[in-house]
Amino acid sequence: MKFNKNLQNLKNYEAGKPIELVVREYGINEKDVIKLASNENPFGTSEVVSKGIAEISNKAHLYPDDSYFELKDALAKKYNIDVKNILIGQGSDQVIEYCVHAKANENSAILTAGVTFAMYEIYAKQVGAKVIKTTSQTHDLNEFKELYNKHKDEISIIFLCMPNNPLGECISKDEIYDFIATIDKDVMVVVDAAYMDFASYKDTKMQIQPDDLIKNFQNAIFTATFSKSYGLGGMRVGYAIANSSVISELAKLRAPFNITTLSLKAAILALSDESFVSKTMKNNFKEMIKYENFAKEFGLEYINSYTNFITIKFNKENSSQICQNLLKKGIILRDLKSYGLNAIRITIGKSEQNDKVIDELREILK
């Protein structure tokens, strides 16, 4: 059987290892497994959300309101925009997929940082588009400008992962705006803001407000998710915010009922519980200091993170071997060898989880 030629050299996205795999392979009790590999919220889900979706669990057989009006209305009030500026997706990666299918093809290219969210490249290759990356691993906007000017006739989309996954760095709003101002208005600029609320909490200079972004730039799209600070990774709800003319085009790619009845309710309720988000932020940056101190103790380089994870680079030690050794002890971290880095990405967990991980890393490095 023949398949689309664009699939021939396309690699699957490598997700973090599930808890179930560790339980199966190593016989470790599920309650003893520490999973800090997929940037999930260590506090789980808000009680407001848990109670709310339990109350409507008997409606799981019903399709959701496909207009998603209540969720869009809540987001519109949060960001001071119109519901026409919003598109709901099955996670923010789905609306990113819509962006690629709407703008890229075999005659065009996308531009990304050297190390960034893998799905940009995967979606681009699905449609046969060329992928242009900076030689710099992080977002070097000077190199972005050079590559854009060099390939101006090809580039249809520029992805700015702010803050960047899987590295964690971020660039100030002013620098981002200055860069977008130099880009042709027919080129789509996607600001992937999956971790923007973490960056905003740490340093307000990094904060990009979607209403301001789309007011200043007709070609900009702001994408975000409920998976991280709101703790709804398993519910898969994301969204795009852009000018209404852009949203109406992207909406043509959306299948009906692309999020579930329970997911919709969970997202609406999550927006009403900002105290849960505040608790998440305080824990995140307080606990992150422990990993920074650990890295300094052993002379390891780490990336100053504006997210809910930290990336630590190793010298002579092999990151894959470290992850494998920890896996046998029920600790799941994210090895970044697939990104060409001898590094580990660690989601910031609860205090006792982080202490356990650092103790085990110390033993390995000693």
* Every domain of the chain and the residues it spans: 5-45+275-365, 47-270
* CATH number for the domain running over 5-45+275-365: 3.90.1150.10
User: Is residue 352 predicted with pLDDT exceeding 90?
Assistant: yes
Nearest CA among 109, 171, 102, 105 for reference residue 136: 171
Same fold, 5-45+275-365 and 47-270: no
Q: Pairing mode, if any, of strands 309-313 and 343-347?
A: antiparallel
Dump pLDDT digits (tens) for 79-132. 999 999 999 999 999 999 999 999 999 999 999 999 999 999 999 999 999 999
SS3 161: strand
Residue 335: phi and psi, rounded to 5, are -75, 135
Rounded (10°) angle between helices 351-365 and 274-297:
20
Dump pLDDT digits (tens) for 169-199. 999 999 999 999 999 999 999 999 999 999 9
Helices (H) and strands (E) counted in the chain, each on its own, are 14, 13
Global pTM reads 0.94
State which fold the 47-270 domain adopts.
Aspartate Aminotransferase; domain 2 (3.40.640)
Which H/E stretch holds residue 12? none
Let me know if 258 is exposed, middle or buried by CB neighbors in 10 A (0-12, 13-18, 19+): buried
- Decide if 159 contacts 192 (C-beta within 8 A): yes
User: Is residue 23 predicted with pLDDT exceeding 90?
Assistant: no
